[in-house]
Amino acid sequence: MTGCAASKPAPSVRPPDDLTIDLVIVSGFDKAQQEQAPAHERTGRFVVLPGGDLLASTAPGEDPAEFPPFRRTLTLAEVEALWRVAQENDLTASSTTALVGNLDTVETYLGEIRYNLAIRADGERHAHIFGGGNSAVRNLARSLAALSWMSDDPPSARVLAPRRYDFGPDPYAPYRSTDQGPPNDSD
């Protein structure tokens, strides 16, 4: 009779003190297609530093090799959740894909998405390259985009200007003298 039993929450997994996550997303889409894409498929970069600082940027046309600006500081529970996602999806294992030295040397082709992931934990560095179809790294990218407060919604196509009403001529015009010129500080 376990139908009404509550499921136990996942145990707290304390992340390593030196945990660093560096995820670079390179999209082979043009600017218009990137604006329509979800946040985890736009060219950009997410960096989580050991203190919990999250740096993020997914602006179209921006160079993902550049270090992104500070976005926010994560709580310990949020860092634990990221660490859990990385561990559950075997992103911290060296055997996930072929290790590469320089993640910036791999090219992306038109219409392709590439995830360059580097995780440093417990003194070890794991660097991997994933294609856009890899659900494990997509889960991590979705989590990082959500923690960065990034929306999947495309930017507004147009901005409505406020309506300005013309109330006729200036009612204070007769009280202004136009022959004095600009005010002088010596007066």
Contact by Cβ (8 Å): 12, 80: yes
What value does the mean pLDDT take over residues 47-51? 91
20-147: which CATH number, 3.30.70, 3.40.50, 3.30.1560, 3.30.450? 3.30.1560
Copy the structure tokens of residue 22. Answer: 């560096």
From 5-9, 71-75, 118-122, 140-144, the region with the lowest mean pLDDT: 5-9
| Distance between CA atoms of residues 94 and 69, nearest Å | 29
pLDDT digits (tens, 9 = 90+) for 65-93: 778 888 899 999 999 999 998 888 878 77
From 72-76, 95-99, 132-136, 157-161, the region with the lowest mean pLDDT: 95-99
Query: What pLDDT shows up at residue 156?
Result: 60
pLDDT digits (tens, 9 = 90+) for 145-181: 889 888 777 666 555 667 777 777 888 888 876 655 5
